[in-house]
Amino acid sequence: MKRTAEIVLTVIGIVLFGLPVIFSGIMLNAKENQAFQAEIERAVNSQDMNMQGLNVNQIIDMVGTVSIVIIVAALIAIGLGILAIFFLKGDKKPKAAGIILIITAIVFTFATFGLGLFGAAPFLIAGIVALVRKKKSTVEDGGTIDY
């Protein structure tokens, strides 16, 4: 049985999980930018922001830490998507691939702080399709033959 739909959805999910990697990479590079630091300092010191007890360096360090967490989580999700493609290719282990895709979609949506939602949607759909789709069977001479 061909698993083209699941593979295509998984590839789309992998590409979309690349977006948080790119976004977080940009934020990680911006962390070192003096203009970015000045903007954060201006926002913290403005009267609209009520951030008592936080200084600019702590906020910039938080941005760097969160960016690294998002990059690592998205890269793990991409790796699990590639593993699922290998399981789907040739219809080797579609149930395992479906379970991997569903769990990856749920866990890594939260691990990327919601930025992986666009990649998780195709993963979730592909995982459900991989679990629900059955092998075709035909009846010949009173017996069934699984393809």
Centroid of chain to Cα 121? 9
Q: What is the pLDDT of residue 121?
A: 96
Residue 141 has pLDDT above 60, yes or no: no
Place of tokens 């995982």: 127
* Alpha carbons 43 and 45: distance in angstroms, whole number: 6
pLDDT of residue 15: 97
Q: For residue range 69-90, list pLDDT tens digits in order.
A: 999 999 999 999 999 999 999 8
Count of domains observed in the chain = 1
Going from the C-alpha of 81 to that of each of 91, 108, 141, 144, the distances in angstroms are: 15, 11, 41, 33
pLDDT in tens, 47-60: 565 666 677 788 88
Domain of residue 32, residue span: 4-146
Q: Which residue would you say has higher pLDDT here, 109 or 37? A: 109
Summarised one tens digit per residue, pLDDT across range 61-71 is 888 999 999 99
Query: pLDDT tens-digit profile of 29-40?
Result: 988 888 888 888
Instruction: Tell me the C-alpha distance between 46 and 39, whole Å.
Output: 10
Q: Which of 36-45, 105-114, 121-130 has the lowest mean pLDDT?
A: 36-45
> Span 95-110, mean pLDDT?
96
Q: How far apart are CA 47 and CA 18, in angstroms?
A: 37
Phi, psi (degrees; rounded to nearest 5) at 41 = -65, -40
Cα 130 to the center of its chain, rounded Å: 18
2 falls in which pLDDT band (50, 70, 90)? Answer: confident
